[in-house]
Each structure stands twice: as C-alpha cells, then as structure tokens.
C-alpha cells in the first residue's frame, strides 16, 4: 500500500499548532515548538508565517474554506436568519476536532486587548465570506455593521459552544438563535435611523455641492487692486 504523502508545510504547521494548543498553555508555546512539531525548520516556518498568531489566522481561513466548500443552494429560499444559522452551525461543526485547543486559546487571550483586536480583524474577514455563503450582502453603508455584528454573534455563540459538551448542542443553538434575533433588531434600528436621516443627508450634500460650485469672489483692496495672497509674505 502506498504511503499517504505528508501534508504541505503550511497545513502541517497549522495542525501542529492546534495539537500543541490542545495540551499546553497558549502563552507557553514558542515558534520553535510549533516548527519542531510540524517537522519544518525555523527558516521554513519564518517563510510561511511571521508569528504563531498568524498560524491561528491560517487556521481560521482553513475553517472558512471547509464551510465554503460545503455550501449549497438548498436554503436559498429560506429567511436570512435561517441561512446564517446554518452557516454558523456548519462552522462550529468544522471546528469540533479542535475544541480542546480553542478552549485553551480562548482562556489565554480573553484578557489580552491587543490579541483580541487582532483576532477581531481575522473574524471580520472570516464573516465576510460566511455572510456571503448565506447570501447576505456586506456592501453599502451598513456593510461594516453587518460584519461586526456577525463577528459578535459568532463570538458570543462560541463562548457557549466551548462549554457545551452535549452532542445535540442544544445550549449552543439556543444561544445562536438569541444572538441572531438581537442582531436583527440592531440592524433594523440602524436601517430605520438611516431612512429617517436620509433627508438631512440629502440636504447636506446639496449645500456642500452648492458651496463647491460657487465661484470665489475676489477681494479688492481700497485702491481697487485685487488682493494677492503673496503680498502678506
């Protein structure tokens, strides 16, 4: 029987980090540990990733890809909430083999604002594709609000999922349902506010347009000569 070829170095490094994170405190893991576990040299590691945090970003993209590859049009006619619910639950399913590692990582970064900010950016990029898989547009004035809202919904649901060892994931699904309903209400209020302020924005654009079109009047000095700005020098 032919031996299975080893995974590419990038994939091997991601898997190595998650294996280590499942058994060791996140802050104790060094890049040398990850390189050794992955079977790559430090030089190869450096060529692939600038830090172990970047490896975590690659893990997120790996999960994105798995979810996107499993996306179909089966729920295309369902309400938006149902489509997003399905995508998020499939994402959690894809993350299940790494649950022990994610628990440790979550505990370690919870009190680190810089790491949380970096992970939020990773989450925003991920949710752009998750919402696209659910058929939700993230373009336009409310696009960023949708992305940040989706990232918050997922983060809050993840918090429950990490402690939910029931195979049916009843608590996780209940939390996700609540978070999606709350997100819908926030988005509806934002859309209402935008509609209500539309006349004011239109008036502002009109006034600004008039101001930019109005020709500048030349000031004249007492003897009738046009004032030259350079005269003040």
CA nearest neighbour of 94 among 63, 58, 122: 63
Residue 17 has pLDDT above 90, yes or no: yes
Q: For residues 11 and 221, which has the higher predicted lDDT (pLDDT)?
A: 11
**Residue 111 pLDDT class (50, 70, 90 cuts):** confident
Give domain limits for the chain.
9-198
Distance CA 54, CA 141 (A): 30
Count Cβ atoms below 10 Å from residue 129 Cβ, excluding itself: 17
CB distance 128 to 138 below 8 Å: yes
pLDDT tens digits for range 202-226: 545 666 666 666 655 554 444 445 4
pTM (predicted TM-score): 0.78
9-198 belongs to which CATH class? Answer: mainly alpha
State the angle between helix axes of 80-95 and 52-69 in degrees (0 to 180), rounded to the nearest 10.
Answer: 130
Q: For residues 4 and 72, which has the higher predicted lDDT (pLDDT)?
A: 72
pLDDT tens digits for range 52-87: 999 999 999 999 999 999 999 888 889 999 999 999
| Mean pLDDT of the chain, nearest integer | 85
Q: Which of 1-15, 23-37, 181-195 has the highest mean pLDDT?
A: 23-37
């Amino acid at each position: 029987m032919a031996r299975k070829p080893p995974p590419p170095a990038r994939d091997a490094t991601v898997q190595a980090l998650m294996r280590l994170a499942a058994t060791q405190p996140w802050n104790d893991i060094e890049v040398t540990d990850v390189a050794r576990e992955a079977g790559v040299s430090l030089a190869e590691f450096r060529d692939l990733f600038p830090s172990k945090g970047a490896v975590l970003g690659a893990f997120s993209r790996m999960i994105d890809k798995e979810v996107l590859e499993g996306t179909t049009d089966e729920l295309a006619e369902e309400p938006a909430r149902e489509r997003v619910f399905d995508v998020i639950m499939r994402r959690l399913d894809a993350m299940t083999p790494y649950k022990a590692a994610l628990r440790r990582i979550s505990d370690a970064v919870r009190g680190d604002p810089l790491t949380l900010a970096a992970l939020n950016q990773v989450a925003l990029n991920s949710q752009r594709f998750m919402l696209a898989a659910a058929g939700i547009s993230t373009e336009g004035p409310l696009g960023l609000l949708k992305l940040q809202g989706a990232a918050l919904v997922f983060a809050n649901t993840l918090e429950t999922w990490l402690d939910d060892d029931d195979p049916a994931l009843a608590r996780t699904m209940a939390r996700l349902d609540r978070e999606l309903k709350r997100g819908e209400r926030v988005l509806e209020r934002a859309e209402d506010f935008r509609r209500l302020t539309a006349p004011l924005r239109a008036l502002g654009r009109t006034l600004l347009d008039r101001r930019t079109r109005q020709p500048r009047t030349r000031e004249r000095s007492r003897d009738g000569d046009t004032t030259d700005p350079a005269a003040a020098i």
